Structure 1
Amino acid sequence: MTGLVVAVFALTYLGMAAGRVPGLKVDRVGIALIAAVVLVVGGAVAPPKALAAIDFPTLFVLFGLMILSAQFAAAGFYDWCSLRLAGSAASPGRLLALTVAVGGGLSAVLANDVVVFAMTPLLCVGLERRGLDPRPYVIALAGAANAGSAATLIGNPQNILIGQTGGLDFWSFAAVCGPPAVVALAVTYGVVAWTWRGRLHLDGPVRPPAVAVQPLDR
């Protein structure tokens, strides 16, 4: 039985790393579900224990946050943030810092993956129109989303699960995890700024693709 658990664990992580199963239309969610089914059917985990392992309060909180984040996207809030960032009069270095701050701040209170997915397209177009290379800014946005989401209980699913299991309140968690998250944001900015120093501008003129903009619904 231990061999089955180890094999399923290893194959699941390989599938998660690859993102899919070669030859099959199975993504990471499908891989995780298949692994759970194999463990239950194989007798490694009894059905009652498998059901007890599901933390429904955490899932409900996460579901609510996903709905809230989706509504922000539907209202054009992320598009508005992206356009404001890319269109600001800040220098390239300060714009990089603003990208880290905005990405980290939004990810602390909203679903961080939605923040990155929703902001990236328009941010890239706006940066290219300014003659800036979007790659360091997108890398900074992704890093900031991860760092910022660690600051609060609702920043990511792991934090929600930790808070629910440990009976932690929002402000106590933020008081402990907020400062390291701020340090991580500063490190994110520093690493990206140093790595791309002197290379924030594009080498030649570009013609950004047209992207549909969702108007901000106030």
Structure 2
Amino acid sequence: MCEENQEEKIKKLLKNLQEESDRQKVLQSIIFQQMLISIQFAAKKTIEEELYAQLISSKQIKMNELKALRKYKKEIQNVINEMNEKKEENIRNKTIIQSASLLQKQLQITSDALLNDIREYNEFNGRNKNEEEKIRNVLLKQKEIKERIRKMTEDLKDKVEIKSKLMNVQNILAQKKNQHEQAKKSFETKNTRNAELQEKLNDLRKQFEELKAKKEGKQNNSTKKLVSYFQSNSV
């Protein structure tokens, strides 16, 4: 009976994790659509306003994800503590505790990664840099988290394959590291492109000011000629 209760708690926690992940996915989809709308109207906004809006939105997403991960990490820790107190009652609890501990470690790794991303966003705050690659990277991370949770659920159902599943998780983490490096390189390339676009925009503004000055100069010359004409006729 105690064993069934423990397994039921684990299933309930995993279900909550799945629901939270689905909610985060919907939220990400809504925010991504909002970003597409904002990009369509980017011509009516300054580059600084667009980047600042994307920065705040991305940072809020990461904060929400971090809060959710901390919540479920605490619940998993409570379950582990209960299992440790009753582990002598049933040998099978040992396997469940190990699986829950592994899931907790994966959540900790993800939490650390999100904290690191938030620190990077704070460093870039106020700078004219495009955060589009960062947002895509967060979406990829969330997808990977969902995949790892699904695999951990399968591990709990079939404990014989736990070791092989752990190897798969390690491979996923290695792939994630490579993808992060690739995303970082792409992000630096986009920053260079943004700098070039900003320089072109400054040139266009300069040309506009010069044309405006020339136009005003021509109007002043025309006014002076008219005044001179009327003065000469009146004499």
TM-score by length of 2: 0.32
More helix per residue: 2
Higher Rg: 2
TM-score by length of 1: 0.34
